[in-house]
Structure 1
């Protein structure tokens, strides 16, 4: 059965790096301080949002209490972004080694994958990065750190480990947990989620991944490259149903080439165990087939952590989608705010941190920063990566906004050709008749890095014409962004302007 690893400080030490991580992120002998209230800000949850808010508020002189029931760092450091991207990097190394011949090297017929070494490297990186936000470092920054289950006992107070903390303002930043698909027999047979798959010490020989969203696609590709025979099941007719179709198709083709058995329009309807194997019944178009696997990973989404907080006693409204907030991130109790995955549809670390900054300004300093004004990019870290920011063309048209798209294929970008990374494209969408950027999608090996330039342009009001004026070092794959700007500029050269230019040049020769 899946467990919330971020709350189980004594449950997942696999090696000495995990032991060191726990010593810093939830010291076994930690003694909670005596409440010194009322606090300017009480923060519940020490994930990205909670850490950001507590640290910034304390740095500005506020009296801050931070409550964490499990490991400091939350999902991101312990069971999310940090461990997953560390494993993805090792998986890409093996992908490059298999592709050595196309990169001018010698291909290896029998490539040995050291799975245990890859996982050890991941745990070393996780432990190293976690040091920056250790319990000791937070306490030395003037933050009163409490470990235990937080519960609201009124509109302006919260209890933890038998102590009552009163507050002027509070922030709920408890994050989210994996959503479990309702598949008969899955819990009894056992499964992995992002909270448990990093505990593996051996690579599964056969692996079923349920869900073709970002987590499912990343896990399927990484474990395939590390030696697993992977079956990826997606109920929808395409991966990443929210992304542009040609972007998702490029990823679908890449996964199939790597040997992943892709089953779209397919649903896992039952799971059982037999002879030490997990048998999963897969339904497609009325036909059922059974596959035998060693492990199952679920990646169908995340649910907000709202249970056990006694939010009703604080007058805070919530439902299955999370805590209800207004555009300033206030809950239905004006003393209490929320940030990050517990209240947002965009469940990303960078969004959690951005909204935490907003809460500090709005709650403590009468700020008026709005959630609706944020420009939020995101990226799926497969190979190639898929990154997006702003509106999709279909969204713009639904809002009555005419759209013009400028597309550059990566096989026309010199650095992508040199790197052997020609799959993908840069698409920048502008309001037709202007250079106002509405959104962009980048599919490339380094799309997550490339999308930043477009995010900055949208946030600062720069048009596509301005992106064409940016000088890039040559050669880089980000040149694709400039090339899209150049394509826009060429369309602005109308026949009338050409006529004026030619008349001027002819006159200047006299």
Structure 2
């Protein structure tokens, strides 16, 4: 008999979700983690970044109080206090992700690294164990690009950024995608000089251009310097002088421009943690993007193995590096691995992604460009500015946009939101797209007044208005008005 019914490698968001299901169902479950429980979500990702962004938001609101007729002094940034808030948030949430909690569920937590020795066998911390099923949830890590001189200068990733005991004087951010722009705005609001260097023609190149421009405008207004379309040819160490007590970094760009800073943050993406797993011994096929799986997350080469989270590379779908996929992936594994339900597969049609800047940018489903690339014809695009929303005007934040991507048949394919706290509105659009509800369901939704979410109902209502006010409808009303 195998030692375990299910062996889970990795105690990040996806691994914990799978382990809790398996343990709750009474299966003999091993949860193997070589680092800190909670993975990147708790220790280096969503939790500390949102805590830092919240502190930065408070500083920004103090500076913007003048729009309400309030005069407040420039906020004094206590970096030690900010850091205590970030670390304290992690500490308060740690018990929910800790080994004791999962041991209480009947899960055996093994605090060690693991690697495959056979298709049905692992070694963890020098201990050999066999399994009926294994789930690889080892996650991903920040990419360190191959740029000359990088090995000779100090650099940061999100795994080390939140440990800084002093604020950066001038933070150079290499990469203008989600992590880069979030951390750029947070540090700028906390009093740091910030420069983003991005080889792409514009920051947030994957996001809808209309919405990304709103984030770009906000960053520029807060003093962030943008070097878009600029590749780094090499890095050099900046020696300390009378103005700078510690060594810094110089980024030399393709046009010869030299950009100097005190700290360098690498934010060019993430790569799956495949090294050390010895996948070949487990007969587990992989690509540079992760463990190759079918659409139900089952390995294409070893039927005993599944992969979840950012390390999974589903065939025909591709990997996704979002923490909020953990519960969806765990549900797919439960249905396909535990209940053996045929036809189980991932569905990313309503997948949201969030850029947690201020204003926030949320995309649910397809952008306009993605819909066109997917072959959708006769697309209709409908925009509704936040300047038409009563709540936004009352709060002095009229910048923003709702953008609906609608098929020729009137089905919602995607929704983009640029607004304060836009992430809190994403669920409505996810439900609409995921359940294939008609756009009229959004237009008829009754929401508390005034709320930012009303912008979506107004957008849908305005889109449907021409149909409601068509000549045919007017003729019908003309006939009905004669009835007693």
For the criterion TM > 0.5, the same-fold answer is yes
Asked if 1:422 is matched to 2:398, the reply is yes
1:277 Cα deviation after fit: 2.9
Which residue matches 1:347? 321
- CA deviation digits over 1:426-485, x for unaligned, max 9? 111111242x11111001111111111000111112111111111101111011111112
- Contact 2:349–2:365, Cα closer than 8 Å, also in 1: no
1:374 Cα deviation after fit: 5.7
Partners in 1 of 2:456 and 2:131 — Cα distance? 48
- Contact 1:218–1:381, Cα closer than 8 Å, also in 2: yes
Which residue matches 1:283? 253
- Contact 1:218–1:380, Cα closer than 8 Å, also in 2: yes
Asked if 1:129 is matched to 2:108, the reply is no
Which residue matches 2:156? 192
Partners in 1 of 2:376 and 2:412 — Cα distance? 15
Which residue matches 2:16? 51
Q: Secondary structure at the match of 2:187?
A: helix
- CA deviation digits over 1:151-177, x for unaligned, max 9? 111111111112111111110000000
- Contact 1:218–1:382, Cα closer than 8 Å, also in 2: yes
Which residue matches 1:61? 26
Taking a change above 3 Å as real, the CA distance of residues 57 and 227 of structure 1, as seen in their structure-2 partners, is: same
Partners in 2 of 1:326 and 1:441 — Cα distance? 29
Asked if 1:159 is matched to 2:159, the reply is no
Bigger mean CA offset, 481-490 vs 255-264? 481-490
Bigger mean CA offset, 382-391 vs 370-379? 370-379
Which residue matches 2:307? 338
Where structure 2 has 5 or more consecutive residues not aligned to the other structure, the ranges are 241-245, 314-318
Which residue matches 2:423? 448
Partners in 1 of 2:249 and 2:258 — Cα distance? 6
Which residue matches 2:338? 364
Which residue matches 2:385? 409
How many residues get paired? Answer: 469
Which residue matches 1:15? none
User: Which among 95, 99, 119 is matched to residue 64 of structure 2?
Assistant: 99
Which residue matches 2:270? 302
Q: Secondary structure at the match of 1:232?
A: strand
User: Which among 466, 479, 482 is matched to residue 503 of structure 1?
Assistant: 479
Which residue matches 2:184? 220
Q: Secondary structure at the match of 1:371?
A: coil
- Contact 1:40–1:64, Cα closer than 8 Å, also in 2: yes
Asked if 1:74 is matched to 2:30, the reply is no
Taking a change above 3 Å as real, the CA distance of residues 150 and 250 of structure 1, as seen in their structure-2 partners, is: same
- Contact 1:151–1:158, Cα closer than 8 Å, also in 2: yes
Partners in 2 of 1:192 and 1:66 — Cα distance? 29
- Contact 1:385–1:445, Cα closer than 8 Å, also in 2: yes
Which residue matches 2:279? 311
RMSD (CA atoms): 1.4
Asked if 1:206 is matched to 2:170, the reply is yes
Q: Secondary structure at the match of 1:199?
A: coil
Which residue matches 2:316? none
- Contact 2:142–2:269, Cα closer than 8 Å, also in 1: yes
Q: Secondary structure at the match of 1:87?
A: helix
- Contact 2:137–2:307, Cα closer than 8 Å, also in 1: yes
Where structure 1 has 5 or more consecutive residues not aligned to the other structure, the ranges are 1-35
Partners in 1 of 2:386 and 2:72 — Cα distance? 25
- Contact 2:26–2:106, Cα closer than 8 Å, also in 1: no
Taking a change above 3 Å as real, the CA distance of residues 336 and 374 of structure 1, as seen in their structure-2 partners, is: farther
Partners in 2 of 1:428 and 1:366 — Cα distance? 37
Which residue matches 1:390? 365
List aligned pairs for 1:7-46, cutoff 5 A. Answer: 37-46=2-11
- CA deviation digits over 1:184-203, x for unaligned, max 9? 22232110111000001111
Partners in 2 of 1:421 and 1:282 — Cα distance? 38
Partners in 1 of 2:251 and 2:12 — Cα distance? 37
- Contact 1:40–1:364, Cα closer than 8 Å, also in 2: no
